[in-house]
Amino acid sequence: MKLLIIGSGGREHALAWRLAQAADVGKIYIAPGNAGTAHHAPLMENLPLTDLTALADFAEREKIHLTVVGPEAPLAAGIVDFFRARGLKIFGPTRAAAQLESSKDFAKRFMARHQIPTAASETFTDADAAHACLERKGAPIVIKADGLAAGKGVVVATTLAEAHRAIDHMFSGTAPGTPGARVLIEDFMAGEEASFIVMADGQNVLALATSQDHKRLLNGDQGPNTGGMGAYSPAPVITPDIHARALREIILPTIRGMAAEGTPFTGFLYAGLMIGRDGSLNTLEFNCRLGDPETQAILSRLRTPLGTLIQAGIEGRLDQVEAEWDRRSALCVVLASAGYPGKPDLGDVITGYPADGNAGDDLFVYHAGTKRQGDDIVTSGGRVLGVTGLGDSLKMAQMRAYEGVRSIHFNGMQYRSDIGHLGLPANQRNP
């Protein structure tokens, strides 16, 4: 069986690695891939393709069994519609369904229509009106660019001055997403964030293992938002009660609402949860894909062949399959380039990681922003590697991950030293 994965990050390396564990997989192509996926030749092969027509032509010519889309940009561009029109099997939402992520304004309006709990917000196309709103509401407040922003188009402003700067930045034409078009101002919600990811086939859902991401750059959840500096699974904050409520109050109304509006949702659906200290549950955002770095932690624990689950999702049979999980915890630490999340330094030589990506069955190093340059592997993006440890407890997984981190080096390497702290007792939080 031949498979095609779209994307080049740590999420895609983890997808390729997990799919490759099935005995019936003969070849996995990754477009465009990274140095980590390239290492596993001939089983894996990178493709220097991004154009939708070229990708579909390749899938037809090579008789690709199914395609899995990793990042958000191809989904927003309509790759699923394009492949389906040519009779090609692909797992992901259509362009219309992907608006749940590609337009925060669409998502907010959708949630209002279907009584899905979320923070109140207003959308602005005029900077002056947005500034006036800030003066009315005060701080803390949340500012969001409407379009795709690679996880960096959100500012949680603790002061009015910070909020006003964010508005100016997002209307200036230099912020991520689609600044200058629409900006959302959203009420601040206190509580603990968690990631709730499911597979959907348009009607049925299959919940994946729970996880928690660390979006801020610095220890103690300080500094600017990033695409994610680490994650762990399972997430203790998602109790059985919260899990049941997330399905009942957020996930299922979303799937049913999309179907009712003529845009059935297939693919991975990620709901960012805000779990209040009072037990309240709200939706922070939707992503129409697997999270990164949550994927690295979640898929390290998956025991059921991933291809079996994806095939069921494509065929509308997710109600007929179950996912089996490793009882161990998994924790992923992201190693980032100097300058990230702004302008990252590129081209620095990376040393000290296991060449084949893993060291036994309890440590995996997933590549993200890497490429081969001569005999060296060098940095080629903001988030470079995801070092993922497994252990019988979250503390043991944390210790294993940081053991792996300490062996790796590149100039300017930055990472958080407290990944997993929210899931641990106070006396265990230092790795």
- Domain hosting 85: range is 2-92
Residues 27 and 70 in one domain: yes
Per-residue pLDDT of the chain (431 residues; tens, 9 = 90+): 999 999 999 999 999 999 999 989 999 999 999 999 999 989 999 999 999 999 999 999 999 999 999 999 999 999 999 999 999 999 999 999 999 999 999 999 999 999 999 999 999 999 999 999 999 999 999 999 887 655 557 888 999 999 999 999 888 865 544 444 689 999 999 999 999 999 999 999 999 999 999 999 999 999 998 999 999 999 999 999 999 999 999 999 999 999 999 999 999 999 999 999 998 999 999 999 999 999 999 999 999 999 999 999 999 999 999 999 999 999 999 999 999 999 999 999 999 987 666 667 899 999 999 999 999 999 999 999 999 999 999 999 999 999 999 999 999 999 999 999 999 987 887 76
Helix axes 306-314, 10-19, angle to 10 degrees: 100
Of the candidates 97, 46, 86, 44, the residue with the CA atom closest to the CA atom of residue 288: 97
Residues 88 and 17 in one domain: yes
In a domain, 142, yes or no: yes
Cα–Cα dist 318/324, whole Å: 14
Question: Residue 147 sits in a domain of what CATH number?
Answer: 3.30.1490.20
In a domain, 291, yes or no: no
Total number of domains in the chain: 2
248: which DSSP letter? Answer: I
Read off φ and ψ for residue 130, nearest 5 degrees.
-65, -45
Using DSSP's 3-state secondary structure scheme, residue 263 falls into: coil
Cα–Cα dist 351/274, whole Å: 38
Which residue, 181, 204, 222, sits at the end of a domain?
Answer: 181
Give 120-166 as a DSSP string.
-EEEES-HHHHHHHHHHH-SSEEEEESS--TT-SEEEESSHHHHHHH
**Both tokens assigned to 270:** 């990620």
Question: Residue 28 sits in a domain of what CATH number?
Answer: 3.40.50.20
Using DSSP's 3-state secondary structure scheme, residue 249 falls into: helix
Residues 11 and 66 in one domain: yes
In a domain, 137, yes or no: yes
- pTM of this prediction? 0.93
In a domain, 345, yes or no: no
Q: Which residues pair with 45 in a beta bridge?
A: 29
In a domain, 396, yes or no: no
In a domain, 44, yes or no: yes
Which residue, 40, 74, 92, sits at the end of a domain?
Answer: 92
In a domain, 161, yes or no: yes
In a domain, 40, yes or no: yes
Cα–Cα dist 117/325, whole Å: 29
β-strands 66-69, 90-91: how paired? parallel
Dihedral over Cα of 77, 83, 85, 91: its sign: negative
Alpha helix (H) residue ranges in 29-124: 35-39, 52-61, 72-76, 79-85, 99-102, 104-113
Which residue, 41, 69, 92, sits at the end of a domain?
Answer: 92
